[in-house]
Amino acid sequence: MATMRLSTPLRKYSGGKPEVTVEGETLLEVLEKFDSKHPGFAEKIIENGEIKRFVNVFVNNIDVRTKDGLNTKIEENDTISILPAVSGG
């Protein structure tokens, strides 16, 4: 089982919980499985088969855009974080 951390706008799909345990071999599978129990979740993150422009997904703190995107492998005990893109400086 992996852990998925959700940013505030997504917590309505987890009953307000900031973290949930999830299953799946790839990121896409994890998101789809969670979506099957909490409909509407995946479409907040995925558009046309890609992660949406304003969403950043990290697996063990690494941006999946620098890995295999939605096909990134998810291992036991991995931590997935779904966060909005924010600027700073």
Burial class (CB within 10 angstroms; exposed 0-12, middle 13-18, buried 19+) of 27: buried
> Which residue, 68 or 84, is less far from another protein as judged by CB?
84
Residues in 39-68 that interact with another protein by CB under 8 A: 44, 52-56, 58, 61, 63, 65-66
Length of the chain in terms of residues written: 89
Interaction between residue 89 and another protein (CB under 8 A): yes
At residue 75, φ and ψ (nearest 5 deg) are -100, 165
Interaction between residue 37 and another protein (CB under 8 A): no
> Which residue, 21 or 66, is less far from another protein as judged by CB?
66
Interaction between residue 16 and another protein (CB under 8 A): no
* Spatial distance between the Cα atoms of 71 and 28, rounded to a whole number of angstroms: 6
Round to the nearest angstrom and report the end-to-end CA distance of the chain.
Answer: 36
User: Which residues form the interface with another protein (CB under 8 A)?
Assistant: 5-9, 12, 18, 44, 52-56, 58, 61, 63, 65-66, 81, 83-89
